Each structure stands twice: as structure tokens, then as C-alpha cells.
Amino acid sequence: MSGENVSLVFKLYCLTVMTLVAATYTVTLRYTRTLPSGDLYFSTTAVCITEVMKLILSTGMLAKESGSPKKMASTIKEHVFCNPRELLKLSIPSVVYAIQNNMAFLALSNLDAAVYQVTYQLKIPCTALCMVIMLRRSLSKLQWFSIFMLCGGVILVQWKPADATKVPIEQNPSLGFMAITVAVLCSGFAGVYFEKVLKSSDTSLWVRNIQMYLSGIAITLMGVLLTDGEKVLEKGFFFGYTPWVLFVIFLASVGGLYTSVVVKYTDNIMKGFSAAAAIVLSTVASVVLFGLHITTTFASGAILVCVSIYLYGLPKQDVSKLTREDGDKEFKQKLITV
């Protein structure tokens, strides 16, 4: 009994942390993107630093998993430096994730945190479609229904986006929606691709992360040079950085790695509750911090999205088990009749 209680407590802990990280990251990132444009930091450099932080954290986790520095060095040499083919394979999700992370900054520069949080749940149908196409998985009728419900909820939220009265910058909601659309497409494809690579071999998750983040650092540095190269040379790589910007980078770094722990130890229903709770927290924070006006269409759409997430996470019924149980009932009924 005590083991079950510990397990439940740990799951609730995972759920709480994931919810707080998701909501806090969205709201804090939104806050840092609503500062006066003259002091605004370069989002491309923030994405690059995030990749560096993830690499450091993944290396630390690999060191813990290996048990000794010598074994860790041998593992890195074998799978990273002596295996350029695997590095090239992991460069694909690196490029896609780099685009996704930059699109998140662009989206939150033009959309309120609550609107972003709801709309970003489009990653669920996008991921589902990628799983069907790339991993040959099937979805239940209830999951397809929940996907259409989720899309309907997002349409309602975007139909007449809620206004934030305390935001001092001009926004372009259409640009924000286009950015978040690209972000969810990238999220769905990269997530499923990475899962496929993980399951294609017994290579450690942390080794795969190191391979991906090494490629990610190179790719995001190229993004800095191509997008903001002249401005970075003029004003500096860390121009506009504040403790809040560093906090955003910290949340992005830890949140990405922590998600793998949550996926391992919790189920889809709990993850659904977490996503719904993050939407609620982001909405409350947006009302308090940014003066968000909740409209009827926004509230209706957000409720539809939360319900659809819950329905999507419900476990599939085991058809073979149900058939077997039905057969047992029929056999017992015949015995009674005889």
C-alpha cells in the first residue's frame, strides 16, 4: 500500500512540476517579449543558449547513468565523435526544433500567453497524424472525435482573440497564428521522428540528446549569424538580457528534459490534466499581468480544448479482451440454460 502511495505522490509531483513549468514558461516568455523594442533581446541567441544548457544537462545525466567519467568519455567517443552518421541523423530534428523554438518567440511576441497556450495544443492532432503516417499507429474513434473537437476549440479562440490592455507594443495576431502553426507542425514531426530514432536502437536517451543538441548548437549559431548577425556584432550577444530572460532559458532547458521523465512515469490522462491546468493558469496570469479580457468565444474554445485533451488521453479499450469476456459470458449463459 505504501508503495502505491509513494507512486501516486511522485506522479502528482511530476504533474504539478510539468504544469507549473509549462504555464510559467509561456507567461514569462510573453512578458520578456512585451518590453520596449529598443531593449529587446535577440530571440535567436536565447534559443542558442538554451541548446547549450540542454547539452550540459544531458551530459550530466549521462555521467550519472555511466557511473564513471572514463565510461562516459568512452560512450561519447563511440556514439558521437566516431559516429558522424548518427549525428547527421539527429541533425534533422535539431533543425526542426530550432525553427519551432524561434517560432514560439515570434508567436508570443504577437499573441497573449493564454491564446498561445490554447492554440499550441494543436500539437496533439499534428503529433497524432505524424504517428499514424510515420509509426503506423492507429487512433480510436474517440481520439479522432477529440481531435476535431480540439480544432473547433482553437478556431473559436482565434475567431475573435481576447485583447490585452496592458501590453505596450503593437501586435500582429495573424503573424502570431502563422508562427504558432509552424511551431506545432515542427513539434509534431520532430517529436515523432525522435521517438522513431530512439526505438530503432538501444542507444541511451541521453546520448541521443547529446547528439541532437550538438547539432542544435551549430544550427542555432548559424541562425544567429544569418538573422541577427550585424546587430549582435554591434550590440553584443547578450544584449537586452535580464534575470527574466535567463529564467526563460532555464525553464526551456529544464522543461524539455523534464518532459521525458513525465512521459515515463505518468499516463496520458494525467498529461491531459496538466495541459488543461496550464491553460487555466496562463489565462489567470494573463488577466492579472496583461489585462486580458476574456470573451465568450475564448472561454468556450478553451473549455472545448480542455475537454478534448482529456478525451484524447483516455485509454483505448482492449477489443480482444472485451471479445473474450463476452464469450465467457455467453458460455456461462449456455451452462445456466442447460
Confidence grade of residue 3 (pLDDT, cut at 50, 70, 90): very low
- Residues whose CB is less than 8 angstroms from the CB of residue 158 and which lie 6 or more positions away in sequence, other chains included: 115, 119, 173, 177, 301
pLDDT tens by residue, 109-120: 888 888 898 889
Q: Return the DSSP state at 314.
A: S
Nearest CA-CA partner of 187 in 275, 99, 89, 288: 99
Asked whether 289 and 114 are in contact (CB, 8 A), the reply is no
Tell me: the pLDDT tens digits for 218-237?
999 999 999 999 999 999 99
Report the percentage of the chain scoring pLDDT > 90: 31
Tell whether the model's pLDDT for residue 260 goes beyond 70.
no
User: Mean pLDDT throughout 141-146?
Assistant: 89
> What single letter denotes the amino acid at residue 315?
P
Mean pLDDT for the stretch of residues 288-299: 83
Residue 197's nearest CA partner among 85, 280, 302 is 85
Mean pLDDT of 297-320: 78
**Residue where the block lists cell 546520448:** 207
In sequence order, what are the beta bridge partners of 191? none
104 — pLDDT class (breaks 50, 70, 90): very high
Which pLDDT does position 276 carry in this prediction?
81
Q: How far apart are CA 127 and CA 123, in angstroms?
A: 6
CA 203 to chain CA mean position, Å: 23
* Whole-number average pLDDT of the chain: 82
Total-model pTM: 0.81
Radius of gyration of the chain (CA): 22
